[in-house]
């Protein structure tokens, strides 16, 4: 942050901008690797003790 950001009004480092992973996936800049990953609840049956 100190290297690629800027100094805020209170003297702490802040980013130039916020580019979220969600935005990058929506813009097809990166792939959504979890898109085809099944959640454990949909694959495994519930276990009762």
Annotated domain spans of the chain: 1-32
When pLDDT is averaged across residues 25-46 and rounded to a whole number, the result is 79
pLDDT of 15 reads 84
Give the highest mean pLDDT range of 25-29, 36-40, 42-46. 25-29
**What pTM value is reported for the model?**
0.46
Give the Cα separation of 49 and 38 in Å (integer): 24
Name the band, by pLDDT with cuts 50, 70 and 90, for residue 10.
very high
Give the Cα separation of 7 and 21 in Å (integer): 24
Give the Cα separation of 5 and 15 in Å (integer): 4
- Residue corresponding to tokens 């209170």: 10
Structure tokens at 49: 């003790």
Query: 11-27 pLDDT, tens per residue?
Result: 888 888 888 888 988 99
Give the Cα separation of 31 and 14 in Å (integer): 27
Mean pLDDT of the chain: 81
């Amino acid at each position: 942050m100190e290297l690629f950001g800027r100094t805020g009004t209170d003297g702490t480092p802040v980013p130039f901008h916020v580019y979220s992973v969600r935005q990058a996936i929506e813009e097809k800049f990166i792939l959504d690797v979890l898109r085809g990953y099944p959640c454990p609840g949909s694959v495994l049956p519930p276990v009762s003790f």
